[in-house]
Amino acid sequence: MSNLKEKVTIVTGASSGIGAATARRLAEKGARVVLAGRNEGRLAKIVEEITTSGGIASHHVADATDFESTKTLVAFARRTYGPVDILVNNAGLMLFSYWKDVAIDDWNKMIDTNLRGYLHAIAAVLPSMLERRSGRILNMSSIAGVHVGEAAGVYGATKFFIRGITESLRKEVGVGNGIQISMVSPGVIDTGWAEKVQDETGRKIAGELNKQGIPPLSVADAVIYALDQPPEITINDIVVHPTRQDW
């Protein structure tokens, strides 16, 4: 039997890409999944697909950059299914630009989503997990948190941040509290992210890089492997990338 069966799970950034693929895989494993994101139409469609296939899922519109919105999301999950057992901290933003472009708007968007968003979600679920001495938090990082690529200085910095807080969480709240802390670091994944880059030069770089991308399902399978472990085992870090990607 899967260790994920009937586990109440929140997936942020679940309206597309890795988040959507992960939500589907979790439901297949028997988890009770709450899909969170800002696009209600997409969320509702994915939930319909999951429930039609026999899975258990609901959606809730939430903005990861707003702590009150995140707390409301966690309260919704609790009312709907019970205390949150698993958080997949996935909502993220990747915008490429060179330092010389001084793309301050893009920088701030990534800081708000990739830093504050992750902290908000952790803060919203952690107290209950500590009280119950049980739970799992998986932070979605990136290969950019291992090696900073071209025109990805600020994005890479946000992913190094995620790597840092994940390790700190593992040591401070994982050890001795029964909470499993994990991280998955994808390489180039074909999620449509390249189309969101506003900076013209950055968009060209992203477009070329995305040609070697692998499907989101590849990352979702890694997430399932990390989470579907018994309480006494923690998978700390998984790096998944296209074979031909030279980091």
Tell me the mean pLDDT per 10 residues along the chain, length 247.
95 96 98 97 98 98 98 98 98 92 95 98 98 97 91 95 97 93 90 56 57 83 97 94 72
Token pair in block for residue 29: 């494993």
**Closest-CA residue to 157 (of 147, 170, 166):** 147
Token pair in block for residue 166: 């994940």
pLDDT of residue 230: 95
pLDDT of residue 83: 98
Q: In CATH terms, is domain 8-240 a member of 1.10.10.10?
A: no
pLDDT of residue 210: 59
pLDDT of residue 63: 97
Active-site choice (81, 98, 155, 225): 155
Q: How far is CA 49 from CA 21, 160, 201, in A?
A: 12, 35, 37
Q: What are the residues facing 14 on neighbouring strands? A: none
pLDDT of residue 187: 86
Q: How far apart are CA 139 and CA 18, in angstroms?
A: 12
CB distance 73 to 102 below 8 Å: no
DSSP 3-state of 136 = strand
Q: How far apart are CA 122 and CA 194, in angstroms?
A: 27
CB distance 78 to 70 below 8 Å: no
CB distance 86 to 227 below 8 Å: yes
Token pair in block for residue 236: 């700390």
For 76-135, give the DSSP string.
HHHHHTSS--EEEE---------GGG--HHHHHHHIIIIIIHHHHHHHHHHHHHHHHT-E
CB distance 36 to 12 below 8 Å: yes
The CA R_g of the chain, rounded to the nearest whole Å, is 17
pLDDT of residue 146: 92
- Terminal CA-to-CA distance of the chain, rounded, Å? 37
Q: How far apart are CA 124 and CA 84, in angstroms?
A: 10
pLDDT of residue 151: 87
Q: Report the predicted TM-score, pTM, of the whole model to 2 decimal places.
A: 0.91
Q: How far apart are CA 79 and CA 34, in angstroms?
A: 11
| 81 is a catalytic site residue | no
